[in-house]
Amino acid sequence: MRLTADQIRGAIAEIAAGFNRDRNSLIPLMQRTQESFGYLPTVAMEEIAVYVEVAPVDVWGVATFYDQFRLLPPGKYPVRVCMGTACHLAGGKLCVQALERELGIKVGNITKDGNFSLERVACIGCCTLAPVITIGDNIYPRMSPFKIEEALIPYRQEIEKGQASQE
Ligand code: FES
């Protein structure tokens, strides 16, 4: 269910009540907001700016600077590519490019049908398995551009099943 701007404002007021009204609260408040919504809605960022008394453009700057923040709601199956040092060196960027081709979207976006979103994330803590991607809650170790299509198959099958059952 999509929340209205007023509902988001109400939720932010509740979340923000646990934080001091200063700049040091900015990132923790953004993190907490993202935990709640799965991403950072624009209205939420505006409310956060007012609460911690910074310009909205500063919140936007932080949100776009750090890979951990998402500006769009995640797809049904969020695809995340680790871009921590180990994964980056092991070919994470090639995985991003292969996923962009395969899903037909650029990183930071969501497919038109809402099924897949694609984002880069910081180290997810399994560096010995680099490069790593995750799809939904599943971890895919030692990925390469050649394994991307195969990794997506079960999700595409689920999507097809869902569509067939609606017909
Ligand atoms: S750098 Fe990718 S899991 Fe640590």
Instruction: Determine the pLDDT at residue 167.
Output: 72
Residues 83 and 133 in one domain: yes
Residue ranges of E strands in the chain? 77-82, 116-121, 133-135, 138-140
- Supply the residue whose CA is at minimum distance from atom 1 of ligand 1: 84
Owner of token pair 């097809």: 160
> 159 CB under 6 A from ligand 1?
no
Probe residue for ligand 1, chosen from 68, 120, 121, 132 as the CB with the greatest number of ligand atoms within 8 Å: 132
Q: What is the pTM of this model?
A: 0.78
For position 127, which CATH number holds? 3.40.30.10
Residues 6+ apart with CB under 8 A from 165: none
The structural domain count of the chain equals 2
Question: In this structure, what are the phi and psi dihedrals at residue 162, rounded to the nearest 5 degrees?
Answer: -60, -40
Local confidence band at 1 (pLDDT 50, 70, 90 cut-offs): low
Distances in whole angstroms, Cα of residue 10 to Cα of each of 7, 29, 104, 164: 5, 15, 36, 39
pLDDT (tens digit per residue) in 108-155: 889 999 999 999 888 999 999 999 999 999 999 999 999 999 999 999
107 and 147 part of one domain:
yes
> Is there a single domain that holds both residue 9 and residue 54?
yes
In a domain, 81, yes or no: yes
Range of the domain at 28: 5-65
- The pick from 81, 95, 121, 126 for probing ligand 1's pocket by mutation, whose C-beta has the most ligand atoms within 8 angstroms, reads 126
Same-domain pairing of 29 and 52: yes
